[in-house]
Chains A and B, each alone.
Chain A
Amino acid sequence: MSALSAVMYREGKIRATNALFIFWDVVYPLGYLLVFGVGMNKALGFSGLPTDYHAFFLAGVLGMAGFGIASNTAWSFFMDRDNGIFYEMLTYPISRAEYLLGKVLFNVAIGLVQAFITVLLARALLGVPLRPDRFPLLAAAVVVGTAGWFFFYAIFALAIRRNDAFNTVTSIFYFVFLFASSMFYPIDPLPVAFRAVALVNPITWHVDVMRFATIGLGDPRSVALEAAGFVAFTLVSFAGALLVLRREG
């Protein structure tokens, strides 16, 4: 068994000890879409959108789900530290890069299942118009998105020693990244400063790619640029996480 699959196996084993956790991971974006998306659609309507709000929000929900999985996976570094297993694992015959990749790959697989179920039921229950020809792009966006945010969070989870301090950081990130982005609303009508922040927010790039891949909304050239930006963000985050992990041992 390769080092990478050994890390994945371990992550899977641990996650499988709590079936409710996996169930929740898989279905909560759908629940969010049904409750929040439909509610907002009915209550506010969002005139000016080229589509229903729940169709618009589908990509936002998928982005939020990937963001959540990533932060939970990074938080598990604290659990590993508490169990003492973190430092023991650093003496196993795996490279630091394999450790990081193996840790996220199992959760990427969960992300893909989650996205598949959410998209399928969004179509079946809400009649969201989908672009099946762009599903490979959607799958790529889920994989790179979950990995990118995990690497980003891992930098902080590895550098910060206190669990409560990390929780504060994630709360700030949730607030800043999620609301100053195109996740919940289109950014065009926003005030200039707010819009400027949203435009340089990697969540916006991630969600815009997924919106393009699910309902076909967006200009292909700017989406391509955002996709490239997000890949660069992922690579830089991976390098950062690797650097911090190597400092650990």
Chain B
Amino acid sequence: MPEPAIRVHNLVKLYARRRQPTIRAIDLLTFDVARGSIFGLLGPNGAGKTTLLRVLSTLARPTSGAASVLGHDVVASPLEVRRRISVVIQETAVELFLTVRDNLGTFARFHGLGDAGIRTRAERVLEDFGLASEAHRKVMDLSGGYRRRVQVAKVFMVDTPVVFLDEFSTGMDPVLKRSVMEKLRREAAAGRTIVLTTQILGEAEELCDDILILNRGRQAARGDLHTLKLLSQGVYDVTVTFDRLPPGIEDELAARGPIRLSITQSTVEVTLKEDDDGILAVVGALARRGRVLRLEVGGASLEDIFVELTKEGPRVGADTEDHHGGRA
């Protein structure tokens, strides 16, 4: 069996704060990521996703435990790790005073590409990312969305075997996002390992072969989409559209302790954990409350599972520490 692309063992990352309790941003995490897979890190704000990416990309040292990328320990051989990764950090990171083309070129140079290689690659990447017409514009003159586009485009200039993407689709329009997702699938199929964090669960649902849900720095669940859905057997999404919203229905449903409840005009969307008889009883009761125009009952989505697994709520402040690179 080939060595995994990423190996994490009993990893702990603490952030000590003056006169405040220490934050356990990562708390005894252990997992492997297979080569050529798309691995999704999900979790609420402050769950430890960005901290974990910072550790894996050598930006932060773990407090204890071990992590390695393609067999290279992130603490003992950080440079060897950096030779094998490219990273899209959560914040926009671009050379504002350089043109789009020069942004791609300077990035590629750091990864050892020469002039000829850069020229060839840049043409393709500019085209793929819809940046060809902006190639000679300075990035400072571009909108936030375009800046993010340039930032993500950079990782396609090089062939590092591992790519880390921290909320890569922030600020991207849906068409470009779809195209980038397609590219990521192709890169993974060609053997590149992609590790991404996202708050958009549909993205993970569509893209990831393997998902780790983090909560409070710990593993809340792990597996492919099918495995995760098995975890939530008995969780149902019910959508009912009435011709007119029955009075008091919100309180009635809230009394059942739903995982999620939303009411928009005359449509009620509720996610409940019930056995088969229970869900039929709920649907029957809803149907008797008014004239039903549409009724849908389905299994749980990734979002439902996510909410179910992380509903204790995040610790306030942990993500802020991640953001500003808090120190241990």
> Residues of A with Cβ closer than 8 Å to B?
1, 3, 6-7, 9-10, 13-14, 17-18, 83-85, 87-95, 247-249
A95 to B79, CA, bound (A): 6
Known contacts A1-B114, A9-B106: does B85 contact A249 (CB below 8 Å)? Answer: no
Contact B111 A88 (CB under 8 A): no
A94 neighbours in B (Cβ, 8 Å): 79, 82, 110
| Min CB–CB distance B142 → chain A (angstroms) | 13
| Min CB–CB distance A245 → chain B (angstroms) | 12
Known contacts A91-B85, A91-B87: does B106 contact A13 (CB below 8 Å)? Answer: yes
Contact B97 A9 (CB under 8 A): no
Residue in A closest to B138 when the chains form the complex, CB atoms: A17
- B window 309-325: CB within 8 A of A: 325
A87 to B89, CA, bound (A): 8
Flag whether B267 is at the interface (Cβ < 8 A): no
* Pairs A–B under 8 Å by Cβ, sample size 16: A6-B109, A9-B106, A10-B95, A10-B106, A14-B98, A84-B93, A85-B95, A87-B59, A88-B89, A91-B89, A91-B164, A92-B82, A92-B107, A93-B110, A95-B79, A249-B58
A87 neighbours in B (Cβ, 8 Å): 59, 89, 91, 93, 325
A199 to B237, CA, bound (A): 79
B59 neighbours in A (Cβ, 8 Å): 87, 90-91, 249
> Residues of B with Cβ closer than 8 Å to A?
54, 57-60, 79, 82-83, 85-87, 89, 91-98, 102, 106-107, 109-114, 138, 151, 164, 325, 327
Residue in B closest to A9 when the chains form the complex, CB atoms: B109
Known contacts A92-B82, A95-B79: does B54 contact A249 (CB below 8 Å)? Answer: yes
- 7 shortest A-B CB distances, which residue pairs? A84-B93, A249-B59, A88-B93, A91-B87, A93-B83, A92-B110, A84-B91
The majority secondary structure among interface residues of chain A is helix
A91 to B57, CA, bound (A): 6
A93 to B112, CA, bound (A): 9
Contact B111 A92 (CB under 8 A): yes
A18 neighbours in B (Cβ, 8 Å): 97
B112 neighbours in A (Cβ, 8 Å): 1, 93
Contact A93 B111 (CB under 8 A): yes
A87 to B88, CA, bound (A): 10
Contact A1 B109 (CB under 8 A): yes
B89 neighbours in A (Cβ, 8 Å): 84, 87-88, 91
- Most central of A1, A14, A85, A89 by chain B CB within 10 Å: A85
Partner of B325, one of A1, A7, A91, A248: A248
A110 to B25, CA, bound (A): 44
| Min CB–CB distance B138 → chain A (angstroms) | 8
A94 to B110, CA, bound (A): 8
A1 to B58, CA, bound (A): 22
Residue in B closest to A15 when the chains form the complex, CB atoms: B97
B325 neighbours in A (Cβ, 8 Å): 87, 248-249
Residue in B closest to A94 when the chains form the complex, CB atoms: B110
Residue in A closest to B84 when the chains form the complex, CB atoms: A93
A88 to B96, CA, bound (A): 14
A94 to B79, CA, bound (A): 7
Residue in B closest to A18 when the chains form the complex, CB atoms: B97
Residue in B closest to A2 when the chains form the complex, CB atoms: B112
A205 to B221, CA, bound (A): 63
| Min CB–CB distance B307 → chain A (angstroms) | 31
